Amino acid sequence: MRHQVVIIGAGPSGLLLGALLHQAGIDTLILERQSRDYVLARIRAGVLEEGTVGLLRRAGCAARLEREGLVHEGFALNFAGQHLRIDIKALTGGRTVTVYGQTEVTRDLMEHRAASGAPTVYEARDVALHDFDGPNPRVTWTQDGQSREAGCDIIAGCDGYHGVSRASVPAGAIETFERVYPFGWLGVLADVPPCSHELIYAGHERGFALCSMRSNTRSRYYVQCRSDDDVKRWSDDMFWDELRRRLDPAAAAQVVTGPSIEKSIAPLRSFVAEPLRFGRLFLAGDAAHIVPPTGAKGLNLAAGDVHYLSEALIAFYEDRSEGALDTYSARALDRIWKAERFSWSLTTLLHRFDTSPPFERRMQDAEFALLRSSETARRALAEGYVGLPY
Ligand code: APR
Ligand code: PHB
């Protein structure tokens, strides 16, 4: 068995890369460790940059997103009881974001791939990468108890933070940069109308809170919690009480409570691996970097990588030159580090750091005061939020 490109992982990165390459006539095989249903059960952020929507459109996967996605022209910051709207459309010359769950993006990409007839192996166990330091890499795996092998020109490692691709690179060839934040996010999904038609990011002395949504009838809320917290400790009532305490009174009064349909705790981490190319192996998405969820950059950053990688691979197959492959890592990393800076800075502004000296608290106050008084500061925040152009 031989394919031009073997993609490891059927998360949003692997599926979007597969769709863009398929459209360019490049033959791909996707190997995914989990089942389709398992992948679709993961709940993640839900704010898409215009660039991400554009890529999904180009891949032919944006029809439902364009029908059901909610276009947002702004978001709100709550800070120590004060309310500040960031008018992203006015501040960025007309750009907006689209609220549409990552789970739905993944579902649309999976259905598109199935309809295209391009091969995907779910529940591929023991995936291993071989010979990617030369022109004929191979991938082996176990499927229904049988050993399988595929040769290829290129391996795309789109298998997330815990995947096998990054782990297959010799330790001396890769450098990693990491910050683990001393708290987590407790998230609740509920079939209740959102408390506001725009997202609210709240910094409060009890900790951060976020009001988000999946639709006009389904809300997604988060509160900052301890890193070692146990989700079983949190009843729905405790969650709703804590959320309302952290919002300004007007927003708190609008919160409609109801039974949670999902409740989970996510850790917060910033992480970048460099470089992203190792011979014929390329890393993209969460395999290469993690951002804390503040600002919802994870999926958007993955889409940026896939944009650069698909361009490089299409150029490689058009003229058989390695030139385009050579530039992928630097192009993608330039955008990645800027988004890392954005996510780190919004996280630092809005969270409670128990160990912070009073000086750091004053820095948070000063940054919020600057956002209130300076349109330039608000514009910088809005530009980061809508995402850098490719
Ligand atoms: N073999 C095959 N597949 C694997 C392996 C492996 N050894 N290890 C992991 N995978 C699969 C995972 O099961 C998962 O479905 O790779 C996929 C990676 O998907 P994601 O973790 O969603 O990563 P990515 O596609 O890069 O998406 C980035 O998703 O994680 C969020 O915050 C992130 O929003 C961002 C986006
Ligand atoms: C979400 O809707 O889950 C979400 C939205 C915005 C964020 C993070 C998560 O910054």
Span 212-221, average pLDDT: 96
By percentage, how much of the chain surpasses pLDDT 90? 94
H-helix segments, 231-297: 236-246, 249-254
At 283 the pLDDT is 98
Strand partners, 175: 274
Same domain, 110 and 208: no
Q: Which tens digits make up the pLDDT trace of 52-82?
A: 999 999 999 999 999 999 999 999 999 988 9
Higher pLDDT, residue 224 or 43: 224
In a domain, 204, yes or no: yes
Same domain, 194 and 320: no
Span 206-219, average pLDDT: 96
At 321 the pLDDT is 83
Q: With contact defined as beta carbons under 8 Å apart, do 251 and 195 qualify?
A: yes
At 43 the pLDDT is 85
Span from the CA of 14 to the centroid of ligand 1 (angstroms): 8
Q: Are strands 146-151 and 138-143 parallel, antiparallel or unpaired?
A: antiparallel
Same domain, 18 and 112: yes
Judge whether residue 265 has pLDDT over 80: yes
In a domain, 87, yes or no: no
Judge whether residue 356 has pLDDT over 80: no
Same domain, 124 and 51: yes
Span from the CA of 180 to the centroid of ligand 2 (angstroms): 19
Same domain, 343 and 357: no
Span from the CA of 222 to the centroid of ligand 2 (angstroms): 8
Q: Which of 3, 112, 289, 297 is catalytic?
A: 297
Span 328-356, average pLDDT: 96
Give the model's confidence band at 257: pLDDT under 50 very low, under 70 low, under 90 confident, else very high.
Answer: very high
Distance CA 222, CA 296 (A): 13
CA dihedral angle for residue 352, residue 356, residue 360, residue 365, rounded to 10 degrees: 30
Span 259-287, average pLDDT: 97
Radius of gyration (C-alpha) of the chain in whole angstroms: 21
Same domain, 264 and 195: yes
Strand partners, 237: none
Nearest-atom number in ligand 1 for the CA of 13 is 25
Span 143-172, average pLDDT: 97
Q: In CATH, what number is assigned to the domain containing residue 338?
A: 3.50.50.60
Same domain, 49 and 196: no
At 247 the pLDDT is 96
Which residue, judged by its Cα, is nearest atom 1 of ligand 2? 45
At 14 the pLDDT is 98
In a domain, 49, yes or no: yes
Residue 385 known to be catalytic: yes
Distance CA 37, CA 49 (A): 26
Q: In CATH, what number is assigned to the domain containing residue 192?
A: 3.30.9.10
Same domain, 146 and 20: yes
In a domain, 314, yes or no: yes
Q: Which of 3, 12, 22, 72 is catalytic?
A: 72
Same domain, 218 and 364: yes
DSSP string for 158-182: ---TT-HHHHTS-GGG-EEEEEEEE
Same domain, 169 and 39: yes
Q: Which of 12, 100, 181, 201 is catalytic?
A: 201
Q: Which tens digits make up the pLDDT trace of 173-190?
A: 999 999 999 999 999 999
Span 108-129, average pLDDT: 98
Q: Which residue has the tokens 């939020």?
A: 385
Distance CA 261, CA 101 (A): 15
Give the domain range for residue 282: 5-70+101-178+269-347
In a domain, 253, yes or no: yes
At 81 the pLDDT is 81
Span 268-286, average pLDDT: 98
At 119 the pLDDT is 98
Q: What angle, 0 to 180 degrees and rounded to 10, lies between the N-to-C axes of helices 50-58 and 102-116?
A: 10
Give the model's confidence band at 29: pLDDT under 50 very low, under 70 low, under 90 confident, else very high.
Answer: very high
Span 240-267, average pLDDT: 97
At 198 the pLDDT is 98
Q: What does the block give as tokens for 54?
A: 């554009």
Q: Which tens digits make up the pLDDT trace of 127-139?
A: 999 999 999 999 9
Same domain, 286 and 322: yes
Q: Which tens digits make up the pLDDT trace of 88-99?
A: 999 999 999 999
Which residue, judged by its Cα, is nearest atom 6 of ligand 2? 296
Q: With contact defined as beta carbons under 8 Å apart, do 32 and 110 qualify?
A: no
Judge whether residue 106 has pLDDT over 80: yes
At 355 the pLDDT is 81
Q: Which tens digits make up the pLDDT trace of 289-340?
A: 999 999 999 999 999 999 999 999 999 999 988 898 999 999 999 999 999 9
In a domain, 94, yes or no: no
Span 342-360, average pLDDT: 93
Span 270-274, average pLDDT: 98
In a domain, 93, yes or no: no
pTM of the model: 0.97
Distance CA 153, CA 132 (A): 9
At 207 the pLDDT is 96
At 80 the pLDDT is 82
Nearest to 109 by CA among 63, 77, 155, 163: 63
Same domain, 65 and 25: yes
Q: With contact defined as beta carbons under 8 Å apart, do 79 and 368 qualify?
A: yes
In a domain, 89, yes or no: no
Q: How many domains would you assign to the chain?
A: 2
At 349 the pLDDT is 96
Judge whether residue 354 has pLDDT over 90: no
